[in-house]
DNA sequence: TAAAGATACGCAAACGTTTTCGTGTTCATA
DNA sequence: TATGAACACGAAAACGTTTGCGTATCTTTA
């Protein structure tokens, strides 16, 4: 790569000082019209642009936001990034994305790389492994330094920082109520392991709805899926029992789509024999047959909110108390819960 | 945010020079054991880490790769980013993602921001608008400066730089042949506008297969979709004709899924009445009913390749001629082309 | 005891910028 | 003709780091 042109080189070319060049390019009245003209023409011709590293160092500001997420090949996370990027861009920030791949170690290494001056703040959704082992010490340093930080979706309640979450309890509550309204009596829940916060929150919403409706809670209707094992086999057990449930609430789109597929294979009619709802912001629900009713998650909005909180924190326009923003979710009713009469 | 600790502050604390501190922290034998110990303990206690901006400026290297893509909420692009990130990380690079949102203007602004010293190289897939208007002048400056650049998927043939593409012709060819083998005679093609390179390449593969099989090419079986208008209405026209095709090749997953949905609504049986194949690397194809046969695109691999080419270019380990890597695609046969006898 | 060598550190340049403050020249005014 | 302002530019510090080279002090050796 050819070396880029610098103020120093331009200065040398005209036998003037670096400051003269700098001022000339900024149209300073301190520099004579003549000198200004020459310098600007030359700089223009050689396509001069200030080196942003030098500027960042001088201004002690990078205008870059770091984002650490568990994975990117996941519709929800990519909508969040989209939201972050849109808002950040409006405010003149760029986005640096790092993946933890659900690994604690990688998350920590991302932390160290990003907090060494290359970004002005951090937006994080925590890796599964980190949540499982509950080791949060990599947060200590940056929190005690008041480094701008926003957690989203998978958060840690104890940490002192801004947070954005989906109204998981409310979403699951609405979904479960909807199932009850269309006549379901025995609603199975397909959820994650307990340490995934969103899974356990959605379970709370589910339980709450059952209680207020006076339905009995059957522990054996709650299935905790292990994401590292075969999903089909695990979900098959929900349906292939002597007394199958008459409705299913799944905490994500994939679980729901698999359940639907299996139910159809077993000859069940949906929603007549069994109604199904998933959580999602993905595309699958639209194209299954029947299409899947689902709790819509508004990842874009979540990203926007997270970026807004962060930038306010960076620019010191935030209130001193940390905020917890809850993004409400709504039910998109499709055919998997819609009787055709 | 609290100000970070620097060499200067440590130096002041012990009344030594900055260089002494720097050397001590690097375990230089030039510094006495005693001084080294004190300084390292202090630095450790205050969690000193070298400011990466300063290092980047000094070393004239950021170890950051810039990526500009049309959108991120798109399974294909997110797999590519995933591939880029994995490989880049292994090699000690970080990834900065920018979105053009299919807009020429935003693409240009991303260019200017990223080529000002904040990244060592650029991986780009071109915005729709840019392809439509064929204005490539924002590439001129960086190409004549030999700035490391890799184009992928949506490329520009004339530009002198490394490129990675899917074997679009071959993929479409294989898919079309497969349709012919299962007995299709009148194969419709649902493709994009001509200026989208991947669309026109896939069309070439389609035409080639028809020719070599001796089937007649019917221009009115080729439908060019406009992405900014209602997809359903446009695709409906493919099926709702007096003499519908007996097979459909769609150049992406969404088109295929919509075609499938419409065909079912019209009472057609798939694949008996009409067989369907899509291009994809998404999740939808798996969960439609019947599941969709599709050309698998290996976005991860594409990203890895792009990152590899770029990093070789950055580190000057690449051959001087520019390379064009073709990622071969393969057919994943599912039920939309599988007669059940 | 003088010369040579080892030890332990500091200086300063370099990366590329911005900006405050100074300074030499020119011109007009009293 | 001396004084002051206006004009046009330069010096230097600052951001934080690394590193080659210089140097003062101490120790060893002949």
Task: Report how far residue A259's alpha carbon sits from residue A274's, in angstroms, rounded to the nearest whole number.
Answer: 10
Task: Report how far residue A276's alpha carbon sits from residue A141's, in angstroms, rounded to the nearest whole number.
Answer: 45
Query: By C-alpha distance, which of A152, A153, A172 is closest to A162?
Result: A152
Residue B323 φ/ψ, nearest 5 degrees: -110, 155
CATH architecture of B60-166+299-328: 3-Layer(aba) Sandwich (3.40)
Beta bridge partners of B152: B164
Q: What is the pLDDT of residues A228-261, one digit of tens each?
A: 999 999 999 999 998 899 999 999 999 999 999 9
CB A101 within 8 A of CB A70: yes
Q: Is the pLDDT of residue B257 over 50?
A: yes
Sign of CA dihedral A207, A210, A215, A218: negative
Cβ contacts (< 8 Å) between B283 and chain A: which residues? 254, 282-284
Cβ contacts (< 8 Å) between B47 and chain A: which residues? 141
Residue A339's pLDDT band (boundaries 50, 70, 90)?
A: confident
Task: Report how far residue A76's alpha carbon sits from residue A63's, in angstroms, rounded to the nearest whole number.
Answer: 25
The reported pLDDT for the residue numbered B15 is 96
Q: What is the pLDDT of residues B65-80, one digit of tens each?
A: 999 999 999 999 999 9
Residue B340's pLDDT band (boundaries 50, 70, 90)?
A: low
Helix A33-45 to helix A7-14 angle (10° resolution) is 130
Tell me what the mean pLDDT of segment A63-71 comes to: 98
Separation in Å: D23 C1' and B20 CA: 15
State the smallest CA–CA distance between residue B270 and chain A in angstroms.
13
What does the domain layout of chain A look like in residue ranges?
7-50, 61-166+299-328, 168-296+331-337
N-term to C-term CA, chain A: 69
Sign of CA dihedral B216, B218, B224, B230: negative
Q: Which of B117, B281, B315 to mutate to test the interface with A (most CBs of A within 10 A)?
A: B117
Q: Quickly name the fold that domain A61-166+299-328 has.
A: Rossmann fold (3.40.50)
Q: Quickly name the fold that domain A168-296+331-337 has.
A: Rossmann fold (3.40.50)
Q: Do A53 and B49 count as a contact with CB atoms less than 8 A apart?
A: no
Nucleotide nearest to A30 (CA to C1'): D8
Task: Report how far residue A115's alpha carbon sits from residue B204's, in angstroms, rounded to the nearest whole number.
Answer: 49
Query: By C-alpha distance, which of B79, B144, B33, B287 is closest to A288?
Result: B287
The reported pLDDT for the residue numbered A281 is 65
Q: What is the pLDDT of residues B16-67, one digit of tens each?
A: 999 999 999 999 999 999 999 999 999 999 999 999 999 999 999 999 999 9
Q: Is the pLDDT of residue B281 over 80?
A: no
pLDDT over 70 percentage in chain B: 99
Mean pLDDT across chain B: 95
Residue B341's pLDDT band (boundaries 50, 70, 90)?
A: very low
Separation in Å: C28 C1' and A53 CA: 46
Domains B60-166+299-328 and B168-297+331-337 are alike in CATH topology: yes
The reported pLDDT for the residue numbered A338 is 87
Q: Do B75 and A72 count as a contact with CB atoms less than 8 A apart?
A: no
Q: What is the pLDDT of residues B164-212, one digit of tens each?
A: 999 999 999 999 999 999 999 999 999 999 998 889 999 999 999 999 9
Longest dimension (CA), chain B: 92
Cβ contacts (< 8 Å) between A2 and chain B: which residues? 145-146
Residue A105's pLDDT band (boundaries 50, 70, 90)?
A: very high
Helical spans, DSSP H, in chain B: 7-14, 18-25, 33-45, 52-59, 75-90, 104-114, 128-133, 137-144, 168-181, 197-212, 231-239, 253-265, 284-287, 299-314
Binding residues for strand D (Cβ < 7 Å):
A 15-20, 29-35, 54, 57-58, 60; B 3-4, 6-8, 18-19, 22-23, 25-26, 30, 48-51, 53-55, 57-58
The reported pLDDT for the residue numbered B280 is 81
Residue A197's pLDDT band (boundaries 50, 70, 90)?
A: confident
Nucleotide nearest to A20 (CA to C1'): D9
The reported pLDDT for the residue numbered A340 is 60
Residue B234 φ/ψ, nearest 5 degrees: -70, -40
B28-57 b/e (C-beta count within 10 Å ≥ 16 → b): eeebeeeebebbbebbeeeebeebbbbbbb
Nucleotide nearest to A32 (CA to C1'): D8
Neighbours of B212 (CB within 10 A): 12
Separation in Å: D25 C1' and B22 CA: 22
CATH 3.40.50.2300 fits B168-297+331-337, yes or no: yes
């Amino acid at each position: 790569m050819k070396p880029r042109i610098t103020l120093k080189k331009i200065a040398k070319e005209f036998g003037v000082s670096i400051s003269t060049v700098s001022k000339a390019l900024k149209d300073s009245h301190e520099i004579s019209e003549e000198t200004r003209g020459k310098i600007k023409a030359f700089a223009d011709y050689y396509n001069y642009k200030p080196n942003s590293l030098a500027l960042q160092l001088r201004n002690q500001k990078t205008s870059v936001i770091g984002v650490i997420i568990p994975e990117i090949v996941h519709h929800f996370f990519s909508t969040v990034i989209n939201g972050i990027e849109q808002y950040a861009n409006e405010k003149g920030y760029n986005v640096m994305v790092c993946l933890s791949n659900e690994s604690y170690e990688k998350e920590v290494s991302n932390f160290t790389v990003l907090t060494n001056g290359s970004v002005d703040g951090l937006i994080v959704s925590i890796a599964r492994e980190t949540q499982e082992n509950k080791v949060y010490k990599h947060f200590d340093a940056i929190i005690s330094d008041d480094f701008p930080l926003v957690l989203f979706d998978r958060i840690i309640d104890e940490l002192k920082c801004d947070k954005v979450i989906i109204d998981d309890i409310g979403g699951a509550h609405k979904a479960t109520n909807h199932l009850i309204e269309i006549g379901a009596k025995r609603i199975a829940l397909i959820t994650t392991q307990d340490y995934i916060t969103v899974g356990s929150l959605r379970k709370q919403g589910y339980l709450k709805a059952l209680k207020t409706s006076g339905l009995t809670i059957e522990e054996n209707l709650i299935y905790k899926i292990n994401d590292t094992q075969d999903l089909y086999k695990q979900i098959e057990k929900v349906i292939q029992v002597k007394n199958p449930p008459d409705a299913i609430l799944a905490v994500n789109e994939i679980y729901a789509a698999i359940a639907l597929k299996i139910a159809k294979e077993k000859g069940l009619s949906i929603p007549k024999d069994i109604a199904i709802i998933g959580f999602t912001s993905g595309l699958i629900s639209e194209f299954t047959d029947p299409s899947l009713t689902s709790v819509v998650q508004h990842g874009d909005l979540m990203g926007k909110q997270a970026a807004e909180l962060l930038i306010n924190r960076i620019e010191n326009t935030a209130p001193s108390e940390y905020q917890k923003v809850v993004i409400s979710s709504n039910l998109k009713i499709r055919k998997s819960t819609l009787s055709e009469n």
